Amino acid sequence: MQRIRNWDMGFGIWGSGFGECKYYIQKYMFSFCFLLYISISSCQAQDTPVLYNFIKYDADTISNASTLDSLFAKLLRIENGSNEVVNIFHIGDSHIQGDFFTGECRYLMQQKFGNAGRGMVFPYKAAKTSGPQDYRTSFGGVWQTNKAILPIKENTNGISGFSISTKQNGAYVLFDMKGCDSINTYLTQTLLIPKDNHGYQYKLNIKDWINNQTYKVNYSDDITSPFHIVHFNQPTCKWGLEFEGYGHDQFVLHGVVALSNQPGVLYHNIGVNGIQAHQYCNNPDVFKQTFSLKPDLIIISLGTNEAQDYKRTNEEFARQLDSLVMTKAQCDGVPILITTPMESYKWGRPNPHVARVAEAWKTVAANRGLPLWDLYTIAGGQNSSFQWALNGLFSRDRVHNSIKGYSLQGDLLYQALMYHYQLYVIRPR
């Protein structure tokens, strides 16, 4: 069964035709007008999305999908008008940190079910690393960085897989959700700031730059909550946190959760460049803070970095992931969706060890009764990375995808989830 996709709507045809038009306009006006007409006609005629012949669309399903019924039930209630929020946490490596993959899936789900906010955001610029493109960050003062790929330091990593810390009075970070001056997708009404568990004393000034208002947060406020909760008087899309402390006081920031206070979907991307499953196991606060937000689904997308270690056996790969999902990621029956990595390159050719990791992930999912989305097979399986590169779906390193490639992945995941959601909707109950 093939399901229609919504990408590649013909913009490439106009781009390639226009280069030729520039030549003809200098020589023959008639030829220019004729070619312009052909280009526009071609764009208008291409109503059907491009389908790649190497993608296994029939495989774009989720095995053991009945374990997602609790998620689908909540989505159905929201679609029927319920004032609820679905919390999805997508955890992974650099493919997830950049948010092009998760951002596409987030956009599509929020278009259908409603926008509950941007979810988890982090000042990646202060941590001297790359981050998502739908918001900007800036900072001032001295901040120390830790991330889940490094050996554990005094300040462990929380919900984002990163942390930054400061002792400098007046140090700040700023967040700017793009599009605020026109049509903003991520207006923020409430902030959740995870509390550090090391007993540091601090005060924070939370500044709403759009409405010119400041809110105060004290380290001892509401000791029963794992978060500082800041309610803005008016929705905003530019806001910041300023540390107020002296002497040995320290503030550790694990991330911030931005909420719109509207029903719909929160789709959090939690990714760390270069990380493997066992390193997430060494950072329990990632999941502790995730669980405090009552997730409805946890998606784990790892394997590309594991596949760089060709000396490990399939059993060792499986043991790593099994330890993660069984000892750290389990949360009161919340479904954990495993995704396999798609084939990528190593040493200038397709990496054969990705297939071994994908098989190990399938084994874990089957043994534990977990839902599985097999991107390795869907993307085309063995030697498919050549086709992805040929069609502009890989970046230059052929390990990471292009924006176009990640958007394709996000759409495929969304289509798989919606396929099983529609089956749930029509299933007699």
User: What is 407-423 written as a DSSP string?
Assistant: HHHHHHHHHHHHHHHHH
In this structure, the answer to whether residues 209 and 309 fall within a common structural domain is: no
Cα atoms in the 13 Å half-sphere on the side-chain side of 16: 6
Q: Which of 215, 246, 261 is the endpoint of a domain?
A: 261
385 and 317 share one domain = yes
Q: Taking a C-beta distance cutoff of 8 angstroms, is the pair 98, 132 a contact?
A: yes
The answer to whether residue 224 is domain-embedded is yes
- Which three-class secondary structure state does DSSP give residue 240? strand
Structural domain harbouring 38: 11-45
| pLDDT score recorded for residue 247 | 66
pTM attached to this predicted model: 0.87
Task: Identify the CA nearest to 54 among candidates 393, 417, 402.
Answer: 393
For residue 67, being part of any structural domain is answered with yes
Walk along the chain (429 residues) and give the pLDDT tens digit of each residue. 434 343 333 333 233 343 434 333 343 343 444 333 334 333 433 444 678 999 999 999 999 999 999 999 999 999 999 999 999 999 999 999 999 999 999 999 999 999 999 999 999 999 999 999 999 999 999 999 999 998 876 557 899 999 999 999 999 999 999 866 555 568 899 999 998 766 677 899 999 999 999 999 988 877 788 999 999 999 999 999 999 977 678 899 999 999 999 999 999 999 999 999 999 998 888 999 999 999 999 999 999 999 998 789 999 999 999 999 988 888 888 999 999 999 999 988 999 999 999 999 999 999 999 999 999 999 999 999 999 999 999 999 999 999 999 999 999 999 999 999 999 999 987
Same domain, yes or no: 62 and 167:
no
Tell me, what's the pLDDT at 182?
53
Task: Give domain status of residue 111, yes or no.
Answer: yes
Q: Are residues 132 and 225 in the same domain?
A: yes
Residues 142 and 108 in one domain: no
Asked if 217 and 228 touch (Cβ cutoff 8 Å), the reply is yes
The C-alpha angle with vertex 126 and arms to 120 and 127, in degrees rounded to 5, equals: 80
**Does one domain contain both 274 and 420?**
yes
Residue with tokens 């005094």: 154
Are both 157 and 96 inside the same structural domain?
Answer: no
| Count: domains in the chain | 3
Question: Does 5 fall in a domain?
Answer: no
- Compute the distance between CA of residue 73 and CA of residue 58 in angstroms, rounded to an integer: 25
Same-domain status, 101 and 151: no
Structural domain ending residue among the three candidates 261, 295, 311: 261
Q: Can you say whether the dihedral through the CA atoms of 13, 15, 18, 19 is positive or negative? A: negative
Whichever domain contains 269, its CATH number is: 3.40.50.1110
- pLDDT at residue 184, rounded to an integer: 52
Same-domain status, 79 and 149 = no
82-to-78, 115, 169, 188, 265 alpha-carbon distances in Å = 4, 13, 44, 20, 12
Two tokens, residue 288: 């502790």
Computed over its alpha carbons, how large is the radius of gyration of the chain? 23
Considering the domain architecture, whether residues 307 and 337 belong to the same structural domain is answered as yes
CATH of the domain at 194: 2.60.120.260
Residue 1 lies in a domain: no
